[in-house]
Amino acid sequence: MNRFDYVRPNTIAEAVAAAAEPGAAYLAGGTNLLDLMKGAIAHPTRLVDVSRLPGLDGIARLADGSWRIGALVRNADLAHDPAFAKTFPAIAEALLSGASGQLRNAATVGGNLMQRTRCSYFYDTASACNKRVPGSGCDARDGDNRLHAILGWSDGCIATHASDFCVPLTAFDAVAEIEGKTGRREVAVDALHPLPGTTPERDSVLAPGELITAVRLPPAASVFARHARYLKVRERTSYAFALVSAAAGLVIEGGTIKEARLALGGVAAKPWRARSAEEMLAGVRLEQAAFARAAQAALADAKPSGDNAFKIALAERVLVRALTLAAAGTPVRVPALPASPFSSPAGVALHA
């Protein structure tokens, strides 16, 4: 039996102080951490239960047009908030494509950002894994690695980041608000998860004891509402992590793309913003050839980390399809199979 302390602070300051101790971990929805503890992969000596901290469960539109989502908002509650889903349809679609209904009811916004990889060797304590035990090796390199990274990987780790939610957050320049011992700071979601390099055990740039308290979307993120989609290809239609996913947002004027946002999921240790592709799309006419050129640019640096060369071609196709769906228009309702490639490409403009 692994013994650990359990504390339930009443304020953010108390939580940060309690979690500053080495070996402490925050507990919110528990949908990842409790599995890690039961599997003997994580051994926190202190659980700091932040699930009842006041003031972190709101969804608010701020005076400057940005949106703040408290870190304790449940994934399902955010996806089904009508005003939020209308403003950020690709984010709602990404949330509803993740996990299962039960998990979405429990999982929190902050926890989603902090979830750990789903590499099967990471979850198998009989396997060598540099992320779990630094310096032990990486059994995925010569193992079952068809789901692993094609961008930004290192010899030390080829795992991918599992979140759907983080993909459109990265595309639309979301920022994480963080409280720590030295006060408050902000980190772009795009910069929250470092690439593995020689320190794959490091999943985020958070310092010990730092707590994500909210995610904020800037005013400019809402201009994509009429043409924003999330597309996810996986090995079964629900309750599976992405082989490859993509978030796409377009601003279209008179048949020309004024602005584009693109990010990929399932391809790297972090959500992968495709800035070069965005730049190629700005100012060009809406056409499949432009989408194909942009997708090739987005994957220009991709290389297989094992038996996963197919993911490079797949990612290009997913990007083209996501752009095609976004160009057709955001559907009035999230499709019955959110983010599914089987949903109709013909959208209906959300804001006529």
Interface with ligand SF4 (CB under 6 A):
117, 119, 121-122, 129-131, 138-140, 157-159, 200
User: Of 200 and 329, which CB lies nearer to ligand SF4 in the complex structure?
Assistant: 200
User: Of 161 and 226, which CB lies nearer to ligand SF4 in the complex structure?
Assistant: 161
Minimal distance, residue 153 CB to ligand SF4, in Å: 8
Contacts for 38 with CB less than 8 Å, ≥ 6 apart? none
Residue type, 127: S
Minimal distance, residue 205 CB to ligand SF4, in Å: 18
Torsion 34-38-41-46 (CA) sign: positive
Give the pairing type, strands 24-27 and 46-49: parallel
User: Of 29 and 200, which CB lies nearer to ligand SF4 in the complex structure?
Assistant: 200
Minimal distance, residue 237 CB to ligand SF4, in Å: 25
DSSP state of 96: H
Q: Which among 198, 117, 190 has a CA at the least distance from the CA of 159?
A: 117
Bridge-partner residues for 46, per DSSP? 5, 24
Contacts of 20-24 with CB under 8 Å at 24 or more apart are 20/181, 20/208, 20/209, 21/45, 21/46, 21/209, 22/208, 24/48, 24/208, 24/209
User: Of 107 and 129, which CB lies nearer to ligand SF4 in the complex structure?
Assistant: 129
User: Of 201 and 259, which CB lies nearer to ligand SF4 in the complex structure?
Assistant: 201
Minimal distance, residue 126 CB to ligand SF4, in Å: 12
Minimal distance, residue 303 CB to ligand SF4, in Å: 15
